Amino acid sequence: MAELIGYLLSLNAIFTWGLASLVYKFGLGKTEAKANLFFRLVTVSFATFIFSLFFGDYQFLINLNNQDLLWYLLMCVLSGGSVTIGDLLYFLALKKIDASRAYPLTQLSLVFVYPLAFLFFQEQITPSILLGGLLILSSVFFLSRKDKPKKSAIFGVENEQKTQKNEQDDLLSRELLLGVSMSITTAFFWALAIISFNQARIYSNEVFTTNFLRVVFGMILIGILGMFDNDFFLGFKKQNKNNLKYFFYIGIAGSLSLGLADSFFYKAAEINGLVLTSTITANTPMVQQIFSLTLLKEKFRKRFIIAVALIIIGNYIILFL
């Protein structure tokens, strides 16, 4: 029964993260990444505080000895700082490349979570989890591949040569390289945030209060950076009042994603282990693609079928072998 609850919590995180990523992309099309990040963290701080009052418990802060309390707070700071830096890089990546490419690349965080979870928590990486995880990760590359330009029969070989040249120029373009690099770096920082949060959870045996504290530390970090870069405070300035609704969209999505779904993810990790939970939630890009097709009416691509098949096989191996 406990394992089933863990799976259900993981599914909630998958669907919430997938939907939130589309809201972020939509909002960032109208606003700036830095301004959105700070406004989002302020909103999420308020939301996670409410969640912690209803579902959390602050009593453990009194019960921890001084050394454990210090390490707990350090892990919260590390997790809050890492997830905030990762989110900033992800928002900047969304300004460079489309969400259907950026988000799947961030799921490479699994590559970093596996060795770190083994090293710090002595979690077992069974052959079935490893094989299933590799299959799920391989689907990422199908989901994030760029469409090939259509060839024109009218211009023949000359047009084909131009197309090939355009593809090469596109692959080497600064925007593409920056977007891909930022997405992969995001994966590393998100993995670091996952590992440090899990360690804080072990100290406290509590996720909702821990999530509130790490979000607050992240907000403080961005607030300090905002003292040197006013772009972080643009969401609160009068000249952006026409875009206020987009900031709220991202703030609400962040509250449900970073605020609630993240807490459910770590609760699931407490039940089923960090390695298994992280592997299951690596399915999020598939859900995001489904939302893109159904809600945003994006183009259906045949490679999506291959990605889905790999994900189904990977999950079957993880859960039943």
CA angle 109, 115, 117 (to 5 degrees): 85
**Residue 157 in domain:** no
Structure tokens that stand for 63 in this block: 């019960």
Q: Which residues of 9-47 are buried (b: 16+ CB within 10 A; e: fewer)?
A: bbbbbbbbbbbbbbbbbbbbeebbbbbbbbbbbbbbbeb
**Residue 221 in domain:** yes
**Residue 168 in domain:** no
User: Longest Cα pair distance anywhere in the chain, in angstroms?
Assistant: 76
**Residue 161 in domain:** no
CA angle 18, 118, 57 (to 5 degrees): 60
pLDDT value for 300: 64
**Residue 174 in domain:** no
Mean pLDDT by 10-residue block, N- to C-terminus, for the chain (321 residues)?
A: 81 91 84 86 94 92 92 95 92 79 79 85 83 79 62 51 54 70 90 94 93 95 87 79 85 93 93 88 81 71 74 75 66
pLDDT value for 82: 95
**Residue 95 in domain:** yes
**Residue 232 in domain:** yes
Q: How many CB atoms lie within 10 A of CB 115?
A: 11
**Residue 169 in domain:** no
CA angle 105, 295, 51 (to 5 degrees): 70
What type of residue is 115?
Answer: P
| Kind and range of the H or E run holding 95 | helix 66-96
- Number of structural domains in the chain: 1
pLDDT value for 172: 45
Q: How many CB atoms lie within 10 A of CB 251?
A: 23
Domain extent, residue 83, equals: 2-152+180-320
